[in-house]
Amino acid sequence: MLAVIRVFIMLMFILFSCIFGLLLSIVRPFHPNNVHIIAGWFGSMAKMIGVKLVLIRHKDAIDAGPAVYVANHQNSYDLFTVPAMVPKNCVSLGKKSLKWIPFFGQLYWLSGNILIDRSNRSKAAGTISKAAEKIKNNGLSVWMFPEGTRSYGRGLLPFKTGAFHTAMSADVPIIPVCMNTTHKTIKLNRWDNGTIYIEMLAPIPLDKEISAREHAKSVHSIMAAKITELDAQVREK
């Protein structure tokens, strides 16, 4: 019964968030803080699914200025957890097919996020260049999931290089955001689903003498180690 109630609340929340988010975005389309505000709404829903969020930010990541944020992406519940960490003046990079989702797709585009066509390499490269230009010209940050898909319990998947090419083109650092493993830990019929740790690490400047692929591997190792550390914290509670 609890699961049914929660699912209903989630659906109503998503519907009304899309409606009010669209109204906000129509009044001020593509405003740099639209995504931050709407993400805050979604992050506040963690309590409703029985989760306590512990948000940790490295002191050097606070007010770090334009950057490319990279986060691990595990399952659909990320919609109500990870957004709590989205900073001001930050948009995300998402697949073009999102725009066909009723309400949400239009909200995603109009709020200022960037759509990328992953099926077309040349168009995808062009979108990466556009993202780098937005960072340079508008002082924006970009939020990306470098795994490219949800991991669903398979651990931290190999990273694609788009985020790293973007950061190098815009001459901004990478800021990793790590969340402990949540695969099969959230059950909607259970009142208390425990604590989820999300930690924003220190900015990592990228040496242009090193390839994006090597940077991706290096940041992957750093994030994998941090996720292991966060998992240990969860077990100790």
The per-residue DSSP string of the chain comes to -HHHHHHHHHHHHHHHHHHHHHHHHHHSTT-TTHHHHHHHHHHGGGGGGT-EEEEEE-GGGTT--S-EEEE---SGGGGGTGGGG--TTEEEEEEGGGGGSTTHHHHHHHTT-EEE-TT-HHHHHHHHHHHHHHHHHH--EEEE-TTSS--TTS-SPPPPSHHHHHHHHHT--EEEEEE---TTT--TTSS---EEEEEE---B---TTS-HHHHHHHHHHHHHHHHHHHHHHHHH-
**Model-level pTM?**
0.92
pLDDT digits (tens, 9 = 90+) for 91-110: 998 777 777 888 788 888 88
Confidence label for 122 from pLDDT (cuts 50, 70 and 90): low
> Is a pLDDT exceeding 80 seen at residue 112?
yes
**Tell me, what CATH number does 126's domain have?**
3.40.1130
Q: How many domains does the chain have?
A: 1
> Is a pLDDT exceeding 80 seen at residue 84?
yes
**What domain range includes position 198?**
2-236
